């Protein structure tokens, strides 16, 4: 009886929450605001490798979690961070008393649709989805809406109005930090007549985040490109030209090799390579190590804090990464999910329930033209060789005697 009542309450409150979210069903359009836009089989209820050592935890975990089932759909295990996201989410929801289903879809959108459909068939009460392609999940999203299952778009925005809320980092700021880092390191404001040669590698056009990262950086660098202080020798600047399908390391490596052999084999000095994230930076760094004729060290940016990239930072091969604490992203997602399931009002006050720097933003992201998606956006940080200890201090990395960092999950 009690269970049935709770079930009824859940479906009513979820319907209300859905209405309070991004809006009714609709098509997909690019997000507005800031400009542009292995086998992954994972058993359901995967046991995560380690306890989350999050520096911050949601207060008052789920008194009413009983019986609720959460579907967690991650894009792939082939890109390092999603393994961590999957494990943190799975661990934290389980610790709060929820039943979970965790899947990785091998960077295959069709498979992600299937995985989500299976979760709906399994009777999940709420979905957390990091999309492979923000425009390719309409079938699954519309089915979620029909079943009154709220959807939290996790990290990457899904362009469908079935999405109730968005949890991510401030994606535009990620790119802005990379651009500002380049300006500071090269002291571009005082460059005088000096010219620095730059190349650019961006992310996957199917990922709604990729345009934000790119534009965040390019908006900072553009004045210097226009004045000639920064010179893109290959002339490959626009997003579509510099994008990397599926954020693939080998794709980034190949393109970098082509650029180096076409434009730098004559001894032209390369000063900086803007890379939107660590998986692409890894390929670019590999190309520079093997194929660059010059002897100067090239400034390379990144994002995430992947282990191989942190090693490259220690070794002076990569210069920086924009770090995003995905354990905290999971904490925010858990608090939000609890509020949705409990039928609590979701607004800026939710950010009082965790000790994490996070903005409630109702303007920046749209799931379709004019349809704003309430978003919780965490704050990214710059990591260089000089502040690697900050990562260790989160408890999410340890430093070995060799000075290299390993993630604890
Ligand atoms: C994430 C980045 C990540 C990239 C590739 C993006 O959506 O925000 O953190 O580097 O996907 O996995």
Three-state SS annotation for 309-355 = HHHHHHCCCCCCEEECCHHHHHHHHHHHHHHHHHCCCCCHHHHHHCC
Cβ burial, residue 200 (10 Å; 0-12/13-18/19+): buried
- Residues of the chain with pLDDT below 50 are 1-20, 23-64
CA 210 to ligand 1 center in whole angstroms: 8
pLDDT at 225: 98
**Which letter does DSSP use for residue 262 in this model?**
I
Domains 6-169+325-379 and 172-303 share a fold: yes
Report the alpha-carbon distance of residue 333 to residue 337 in Å, rounded.
Answer: 6
Tell me the pairing of strands 381-383 and 405-407. unpaired
CA 3 to ligand 1 center in whole angstroms: 39
Q: If one looks up domain 6-169+325-379 in CATH, what number appears?
A: 3.40.50.2300
pLDDT at 42: 42
CA 277 to ligand 1 center in whole angstroms: 7
pLDDT at 21: 53
Which sequence spans correspond to the domains of the chain?
Answer: 6-169+325-379, 172-303
HSE-CB of 286 using CA atoms within 13 angstroms: 16
What is 172-303's CATH topology?
Rossmann fold (3.40.50)
pLDDT (tens digit, 9 = 90+) per residue, 393-409?
999 999 999 999 999 98
Return the ligand 1 atom nearest residue 168 CA: 8
pLDDT at 255: 98
| Ligand 1 interacting residues, C-beta cut-off 6 A | 79, 81, 155-156, 207, 209, 247, 277, 279, 303-304, 324
Q: Which position has the token pair 């979970």?
A: 100
Average pLDDT, the chain: 88
- Give pTM, 2 decimals: 0.87
pLDDT at 65: 67
pLDDT at 330: 98
Are 89 and 72 in contact by the 8 Å Cβ rule? The answer is yes
Are 131 and 166 in contact by the 8 Å Cβ rule? The answer is no
Nearest alpha carbon, ligand 1 atom 9: 304
pLDDT at 9: 36
């Amino acid at each position: 009886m009690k269970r049935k009542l709770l079930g009824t309450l859940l479906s009513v409150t979820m319907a209300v929450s859905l209405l309070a979210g991004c809006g009714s069903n609709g098509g997909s359009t690019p997000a507005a605001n800031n400009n542009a836009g292995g086998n992954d089989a994972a058993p359901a209820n995967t046991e995560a490798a380690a306890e989350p050592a999050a520096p911050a935890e949601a207060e008052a975990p789920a008194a009413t979690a009983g019986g609720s089932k959460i579907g967690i759909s991650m894009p792939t295990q082939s890109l390092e961070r999603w393994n961590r996201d999957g494990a943190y989410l799975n661990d934290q929801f389980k610790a709060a008393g929820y039943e979970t289903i965790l899947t990785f879809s091998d960077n295959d959108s069709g498979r992600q649709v299937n995985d989500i459909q299976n979760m709906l068939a399994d009777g999940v009460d709420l979905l957390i989805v990091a999309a492979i392609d923000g425009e390719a999940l309409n079938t699954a999203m519309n089915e979620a809406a029909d079943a009154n299952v709220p959807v939290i778009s996790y990290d990457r925005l899904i362009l469908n109005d079935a999405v109730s809320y968005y949890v991510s980092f401030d994606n535009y700021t990620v790119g802005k930090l990379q651009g500002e880092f380049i300006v500071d390191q090269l002291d571009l404001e005082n460059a005088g007549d000096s010219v620095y040669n730059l190349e650019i590698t961006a992310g996957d056009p199917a990922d709604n985040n990729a345009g934000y990262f790119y534009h965040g950086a390019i908006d900072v660098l553009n004045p210097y490109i226009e004045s000639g202080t920064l010179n893109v020798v290959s002339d490959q600047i626009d997003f579509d030209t510099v994008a990397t399908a599926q954020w693939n390391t080998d794709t980034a490596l190949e393109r970098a090799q082509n650029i180096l052999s076409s434009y730098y084999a004559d001894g032209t000095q390369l000063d900086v390579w803007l890379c939107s994230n660590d998986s692409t930076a890894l390929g670019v760094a590999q190309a520079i190590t093997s194929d660059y004729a010059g002897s100067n060290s090239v400034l390379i940016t990144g994002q995430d804090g992947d282990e191989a990239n942190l090693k490259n930072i220690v070794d002076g091969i990569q210069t920086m990464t924009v770090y995003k604490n995905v354990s905290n992203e999971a904490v925010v997602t858990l608090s939000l999910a609890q509020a949705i399931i409990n039928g609590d009002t979701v607004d800026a006050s939710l950010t009082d329930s965790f000790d994490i720097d996070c903005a409630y933003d109702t303007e920046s992201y749209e799931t379709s033209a004019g349809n704003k998606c309430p978003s919780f956006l965490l704050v990214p940080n710059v990591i260089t060789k000089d502040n690697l200890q900050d990562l260790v201090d989160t408890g999410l990395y340890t430093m070995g005697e060799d000075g290299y960092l390993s993630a604890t999950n």
